[in-house]
Structure 1
Amino acid sequence: MNWDDLRFFLEVSRTGRLVTAARRLEVDHTTVSRRITALESALGTPLFERAPTGYTLTEAGRQLLPHAEDMETACIGVQRQADAQGSRGEDLSGVVRVGATEGYGTVMLAPQLSRLVASHPRLVIDLLAVPRVVNLSRREADIVITLERPTRGPFIVQKLTDYALCLYGSADYLAAHPPILTREDLDRHMFIGYVDDLLFSQELHYLDELCRPERIGLRSTSILAQHRAIAAGAGIGVLPAFIASQDPSLRRILPAKAMQRTFWMSMPIEIKHLARMQTTWRFIKAQAEAQQELLNATADDAGR
């Protein structure tokens, strides 16, 4: 038995799927399967129950898990020391996986993190910008940005930033439909929004705070798809200001009814001392602080 086999064991135990574990380990899923089988053979007992829905730990697997995690912690300690020494004389290196909501990850983080890696050529950032919760407990990412503050787990949690949301429509749509001067005027308009039963956070129920639309023409799990539909004139909808204010085809509706949400940033305590994690964490926080005008833009400007 060797540490490499235990690394594969840990990733499968956390993700429950070979393909997901393989993606995290940057290998083919057949390699993961082979390493798990080799570990089970070495120990003389199955560690997982295999099913079409995924892998679950057997009793032997559950007993092995804390020992494997102890070995992982020891390896992280060695890496932490190496990173600390490297940060004093060499450039940052290694992989940092950042998970974020689709909109913030795509519109804000992608260009920001591109500048970070340009400054550190040996640093690799994996950006998971997805319309779902990235699970920190399962190690899907090293740093996670979420809409809800984590309330449990051995994590460092920090408020990243507040951001504004407002109702928007395209200039063409608004010119062709009845004017919207009050909340009651919204009843005569088509809306774009989320698929209610697929919302990954209660914080996305913001349309209910504004009104109860009588007509919803298009729903999507993707805020970027909603943005494109609104810009195409399919209807009106709520968008983050950091997305909508950068689109000159959109106009803000009822700006006094703007809403606010918060992004939270989290990271496992055990990796907080790694130089590449510290640098990435501080960089993301600094970028959010520098973009407050864009993140919280709610007043009308220049005819917008």
Structure 2
Amino acid sequence: MATAIDHLDWDDLKLFLVVVRCKSVTGAARTLKVSHSTVSRRLARLEYTVGSALVERTKDGLLLTPAGLVTMRRAEEIENGVNALRSDVGNRDEVRGTVRLATMEGIATLYLTERLIELRYRYPELEIELVTSPQTVRVARREADLFLSFFKPSGTSLDSQMIGRFRTGLFASKTYLERNGVPSNVADLSHHLFVGYIEELVQLESVLWLDELVAAPKIVFSSNSMMSQMFAASAGAGIVALPEFARSPNLGLVPVLEELIGEREIWMSAHHDLAHLPRVRAVKQFVKELLRRDEQRLLRKASWVE
């Protein structure tokens, strides 16, 4: 005897995945260019077909129920199978579609954004979604197709590769140094003021570069935004620790104690099921090329990864 799930509609599953990724019915409706009521009606139809509620509505958006999590995973398996079939029967080298690349605000805004435009000229059918996040992006949960991080994410379903490095250092405005003097050694730093992160709000320890460089710095301005720290230091608030990709000279910041440096790895991660897709491979390879091309500025020594 046929059951409701025997009449499952793949289009409803695709809509459900959009709802999950947008975390709201309104966002899904906007993405799909349909009405809010259409999304709600089709989501309800899928829940009836599955026989269980799939999402819970909270003030932070929609959350998956246990049944919703299972349904999402099965829907993604179908989606990946369809994508693989499309690649098998089509041009395997064709780069088209959307790739969502997630990373931290600083490297996204100050380094990647203007360079990713070059991808548009190289692959006219490729669309990039650049997502900034102050925390780990769960590629395994399809919050992004690629995650660029300063550490190796954990997860057995991830394809992760260390694709480069960058160094960090101390910077200050000329105004601050004229007012407070230029430190000539590490010991002098105990007499200076600093700009840094609000530690209890930091979700990724890899961005605590000031703590790595200076013991017990006297913080006079703190923010969970690296951009805010840069502007505060530029205005003369104190010395700030920044990565080389920050292009701090553009804000009038100059290096302080250039021999005092830190170093971070750059990792690119994708879900195993997506790593083989031409569009995902193209973006990953492009970012690796960027790091190779700019390695002298990011590290001032050869450290790219083949």
**Range into which the TM-score falls when normalised by the shorter chain:** 0.7 to 0.9
1:145 aligns with 2:148: yes
Query: Which of 11, 19, 28 in structure 2 is aligned with 1:4?
Result: 11
**Within 1, Cα distance between the matches of 2:53 and 2:236?**
56
- In the alignment of these two chains, the number of paired residues is 293
- The 1:220/1:29 distance shift into structure 2, 3 A limit, reads farther
Summarize the alignment of residues 241-280 of structure 1 with structure 2, pairs less than 5 Å apart: 241-244=244-247, 246-247=249-250, 249-280=252-283
Letter in 2 for 1:208: D
Q: Distance in 2 between matches of 1:101 and 1:277?
A: 19
Paired residue type of 1:263: I
Partner residue in 1 for 2:137? 134
- Post-superposition offset of 1:231: 1.4
1:292 to 2:298 alignment: no
Please report how far the alpha carbon of residue 221 of structure 1 lies from its aligned counterpart in structure 2 after TM superposition.
1.6
Structure 2 counterparts to residues 23-172 of structure 1, below 5 A? 25=31, 27=33, 30=36, 32-81=39-88, 84-85=91-92, 87=94, 92-172=95-175
Displacement of 1:141 after TM fit? Answer: 1.4
| 8 Å CA contact 1:241, 1:297 repeated in 2 | no
Tell me how far 1:81 sits from its aligned partner: 2.5
Is the contact made by 2:104 and 2:149 (CA closer than 8 Å) also made in structure 1?
Answer: yes
SS at 1:271's partner residue? coil
Which is worse superposed, 167-176 or 198-207? 198-207
User: Which stretches in structure 2 are left out of the alignment for 5+ residues?
Assistant: 1-7, 302-306
Unaligned runs of 5+ in 1: 299-304
Answer whether contact 1:187 1:214 (CA < 8 A) is retained: yes
1:14-53: CA deviation from partner (whole Å, max 9, x where unpaired): 67x3169639955579354343222123444322333334
Which has the higher mean CA deviation after the structures are superposed, 37-46 or 116-125? 37-46
Task: Verify the 8 A CA contact 1:73 1:270 in the aligned structure 2.
Answer: yes
Q: Which amino acid in the other structure matches residue 45 of structure 2?
A: A
Offset, 1:73? 2.5
Please state if 1:200 is matched with 2:211. Answer: no
Match of 2:304 in 1: none
Cα distance per residue 1:255-283 (max 9 Å; x no partner): 11111111100111212222211211111
- Provide the identity percentage: 32
Find the counterpart in structure 2 of residue 218 from structure 1.
221
1:237 paired residue number: 240
After the TM superposition, list the runs of 4 or more consecutive aligned residues in structure 1 that deviate by more than 4 angstroms: 11-15, 23-29
User: For 1:149, what is the secondary structure of its paired residue?
Assistant: coil
What is the TM-score when the length of structure 1 is the normalising length? 0.85
Distance 1:192 1:34 in 2: 51
Q: Distance in 1 between matches of 2:90 and 2:137?
A: 26
Tell me the SS of whatever aligns to 1:180: coil
* Residues in 2 aligned to 1:244 and 1:23: alpha-carbon distance in whole angstroms: 39
Task: From the superposition, tell whether residues 166 and 26 of structure 1 become closer, same or farther in structure 2 (CA, over 3 Å).
Answer: farther
Q: Secondary structure at the match of 1:84?
A: coil
- What is the identity, as a one-letter code, of the residue corresponding to 1:289? R
